[in-house]
Amino acid sequence: MLTTLAIANYRSLRELIVPLGPLNVITGPNGSGKSNLYRALRLLALTARGGVITSLAREGGLQSTLWAGPERFARAVLAGAMPVQGTVRKDAVSLRLGFAGDAFGYAIDLGMPMPSNSQFSLDPVIKHECIWSGPLLRPSALLVSRQGPMIRIRGDDGEWTTLAQPVASFDSMMTEFADPRSAPEMIAVREQIRSWRFYDHFRTDALAPARQVQIGTHTPVLADDGANLAAALQTIREIGDGAALDTAVADAFPGARVEIVNHEGRFEVALRQEGLLRPLRGAELSDGTLRYLLLAAALLSPRPPALLVLDEPETSLHPDLLPSLARLIARASQHSQVLVVSHAPRLVAALEREAGSQSIVLARKLGATALADADALDVPPWKWPAR
Ligand SMILES: Nc1ncnc2c1ncn2[C@@H]1O[C@H](COP(=O)(O)OP(=O)(O)O)[C@@H](O)[C@H]1O
Ligand SMILES: [Mg+2]
């Protein structure tokens, strides 16, 4: 389980250290940085899949995703006596992401390349990455450390070995290194991060993939776009908790039951409802109903991830469905660590009543995202690796 998430210089997250529990509800007013937190975590997950630089480029490049405020605030600004003023940048550009759990911690530091005659002068580079054991980075806890192109690994005897093969500035050590004997921790951390699952804004328009008839293959994990919804629901029926699926549907739509229509191996989702003579097919379901089924399929996955992250799952759901959604989320948190970003008071209130849940309220202070009530949360200590 993750105990700490740390982000520096990513959009409005100038420096944010968040304590995490089994079920975390991230909330706060519009523009407080909830989606930025979601995106930062997704970016962190991409390091282990080799997509961090490409994803930054898709967001407009490192320059645009960097914190746009000053490196530090003058004392008079903090006291409210002076407006925020631009200062000359003294520190190097540094976007940092990290997490710590019971067993391991990981941090990555992205910056700009050294001046050279390469045309890729605006392409971010990975300056530093490291893995340590335990919740806090201490020199003695360091297990793997990457400085620029060089990776160093600490052996069982405590001696450091530098790998002969340098890594490219745009590759994470996590994707470039695959020898489980010399660095089992790296493989463990990588596999943990690769299992993280993110869902945001499923499409529910008329042409949404989830409404289409799809080849039915065993699907323990719902796709990001929900395209394999019917197969995922049938997989829950056959190898997962089918009873929980039926309960979740009946809970939200009294008297209703999901049916998977099999057109010679091609599956379509349908919902049998009270008072109707035939089940409604994928194309006929309302946006809210379809989205609820997508969320149910994601949350009842027979192969639960280590971490499940949802961004505003309440979107386009009728408020009456929110208590049922909260029950599904609470159930998922028994098998996965869960992080839900939400702006819906009813969902937040329902989740707050669940055992093991923790609310993290964000607020903007001088443009930067901060914990609204840091005193109420047990913010763990955090140390960034030095460059
Ligand atoms: N590079 C940046 N530096 C500072 N603030 C930023 C940057 N990029 C976006 N923001 C701010 O982040 C806010 C959006 O945060 P977001 O996470 O989408 O809010 P919400 O809590 O509504 O999901 C905007 O108000 C925007 O001003
Ligand atoms: Mg948002």
* 337 Cα–ligand 1 center, Å: 25
Ligand 1 within 6 A of CB of 39: no
Q: Which of the listed residues 7, 10, 12 should we mutate to test ligand 1's pocket, taking the one with most ligand atoms within 8 A of CB?
A: 12
Using alpha carbons, list the distances in angstroms from residue 345 to 141, 222, 260: 41, 27, 33
- Residues at Cβ < 5 Å from ligand 2 ion: 34-35
Average pLDDT over residues 292-311: 98
Domain range summary for the chain, segments of one domain joined by +: 2-16+47-195+361-371, 208-304
* 33 Cα–ligand 1 center, Å: 5
* 323 Cα–ligand 2 center, Å: 21
Q: Is the pLDDT of residue 92 over 90?
A: no
Among protein residues, the one with the nearest Cα to ligand 1's atom 25 is: 31
For the CA of 28, the closest atom of ligand 1 is: 21
pTM: 0.94
Among protein residues, the one with the nearest Cα to ligand 1's atom 2 is: 11
Average pLDDT over residues 320-329: 97
Backbone torsion region of residue 227, taken as left when φ is above 0, otherwise alpha when ψ lies between -120 and 50, otherwise beta: alpha
- Per residue in 229-287, pLDDT tens? 999 999 999 999 999 999 999 999 999 999 999 999 999 999 999 889 999 999 999 99
**pLDDT above 90 covers what percent of the chain?**
79
Among protein residues, the one with the nearest Cα to ligand 1's atom 17 is: 33
Q: Count the neighbouring beta carbons within 10 Å of the beta carbon of residue 97.
A: 24
Among protein residues, the one with the nearest Cα to ligand 1's atom 20 is: 31
Ligand 1 within 6 A of CB of 337: no
Q: Kindly report the three-state secondary structure assignment for every residue of the chain.
A: CEEEEEEEEECCEEEEEEECCCEEEEECCCCCCHHHHHHHHHHHHHHCCCCHHHHHHHCCCHHHHECCCCCCCCHHHHCCCCCCCCCCCCCCCCEEEEEEECCEEEEEEEECCCCCCCCCCCCCEEEEEEEEECCCCCHHHEEEEEECCEEEEECCCCCEEECCCCCCCCCCHHHHCCCCCCCHHHHHHHHHHHCCEEEECCCCCCCCHHHCCEECCCCCCCCCCCCCHHHHHHHHHHHCCHHHHHHHHHHHCCCCEEEEEEECCEEEEEEECCCCCCCEEHHHCCHHHHHHHHHHHHHCCCCCCCEEEEECCCCCCCHHHHHHHHHHHHHHCCCCEEEEECCCHHHHHHHHCCCCEEEEEEEEECCEEEECCHHHCCCCCCCCCCC
**Ramachandran angles phi, psi of 265, nearest 5°:** 95, -10
Ligand 1 within 6 A of CB of 34: yes
- Cα gap 115→109, rounded to integer Å: 18
Ligand 1 within 6 A of CB of 31: yes
* 198 Cα–ligand 2 center, Å: 14
* Nearest ligand to the C-alpha atom of residue 7: 1
Give the tokens for residue 87.
């200062």
pLDDT at 87: 64
Give the tokens for residue 46.
């991409």
- Cα gap 260→117, rounded to integer Å: 59
Among protein residues, the one with the nearest Cα to ligand 1's atom 12 is: 12
Q: Count the neighbouring beta carbons within 10 Å of the beta carbon of residue 274.
A: 9
pLDDT at 88: 63
Average pLDDT over residues 371-377: 89
Strand partners, 268: 261
- Cα gap 207→287, rounded to integer Å: 12
- Per residue in 104-163, pLDDT tens? 999 999 999 888 888 988 889 999 999 999 999 999 999 999 999 999 999 989 999 999
* Nearest ligand to the C-alpha atom of residue 28: 1
Using alpha carbons, list the distances in angstroms from residue 297 to 56, 135, 152, 312: 29, 33, 42, 16
Q: Which of the listed residues 36, 62, 66, 110 should we mutate to test ligand 1's pocket, taking the one with most ligand atoms within 8 A of CB?
A: 36
Among protein residues, the one with the nearest Cα to ligand 1's atom 8 is: 11
Burial of 178 per CB tally in 10 Å (0-12, 13-18, 19+): exposed
